Amino acid sequence: MLDLEFGQASDFGKIRKNNEDAMGSYIPASPEQALSHGYLFAVADGVGGYDLGEVASNTAISVLIEEFAKANPGARLNSLMPRLVQLANVAVHDCTLARQYNIKSMATTLVACALRYNKAYISHVGDSRCYLVRSGSARQITDDHTWVNQQRKLGIITAAEMRESEARHILIRSLGPEMFVAPDTTVLDLYPGDVLVLCTDGLHDEMSEETIAAIVSQEKVPGEIARELVAKAVEIDGHDNTTVQVIRILSVERMSSMPRGRPYR
């Protein structure tokens, strides 16, 4: 059976008075639930420049977790995950119409990772990221939905120019502003010892993949690693909220193939 351990941490930073980041998880209550539903982890970052970023991020996380728990047992996660992100998007968009929020605009990023058997299904919108740390090396799995990243892919600017650009936080996709959103979804094969890191830009803006890999690869429990990652990011700069979830894979279970015999109709 898929077995894992996880930890998480978040910090306001040195400047912000409130935390517009949010995080959440769905942990199965039994081995049967681990097989039928799996695990879910998610991180969101309320977008600066909009009102009520903390409402947007918390709404997205709560809707995502609630709908994941209600999903049909055995649902195909590669199609379920983008559907749940869209439901979260509608919920954030509806908040802009709610009287108690005085029809204020709001938006959030979101990165979510569902795990079942030996697979991880990562859906995201915006620039909150997922990294895979394997054998001491970190690899960014998600692709930022930012204006500068789009310019880089078109060959207009270099990766170095993108990292230094004043416009590097301008999003071209986020939850909330529009009724519909198109998340990107990636499927990964998992192996024992793999570590997944979900984080907001308060972390990845301040750390290279090499630094993330070095901290994550320590022989420490995930909660301690998460706190160390956040503390390091705040020490380097701390101008933004910083949030991270660390998920270490202890064992995986291969999906059984269809039994032979009568043909499937």
Q: Across the strands, what pairs with 243?
A: 10
Q: What is the pLDDT of residue 258?
A: 41
Q: What is the pLDDT of residue 99?
A: 66
67-101: burial string, b at 16+ Cβ within 10 Å, e else = bbeebeeebebeebbbebbbebbebbbebbeeeee
Q: What is the pLDDT of residue 199?
A: 98
Q: What is the pLDDT of residue 184?
A: 97
Q: What is the pLDDT of residue 265?
A: 36
**Structural domains in the chain plus CATH codes:** 3-251 (3.60.40.10)
How far is residue 216 CA from its own chain's centroid? 17
For residue 44, the SS3 value is strand
In this prediction the pTM is 0.91
Q: What is the pLDDT of residue 144?
A: 94
Amino acid at 87: L
Per-residue pLDDT of the chain (265 residues; tens, 9 = 90+): 899 999 999 999 898 888 999 999 999 999 999 999 999 999 999 986 566 899 999 999 999 999 999 999 999 999 999 999 999 999 999 987 776 666 567 899 999 999 999 999 999 999 999 999 999 999 999 999 998 888 888 888 877 777 777 777 789 999 999 999 999 999 999 999 999 999 999 999 999 999 999 999 999 999 999 999 999 999 999 889 999 999 999 999 887 644 444 433 3
Would you state the structure tokens that stand for residue 226, as one six-digit string? 């998460």
Q: What is the pLDDT of residue 147?
A: 85
Q: What is the pLDDT of residue 101?
A: 67
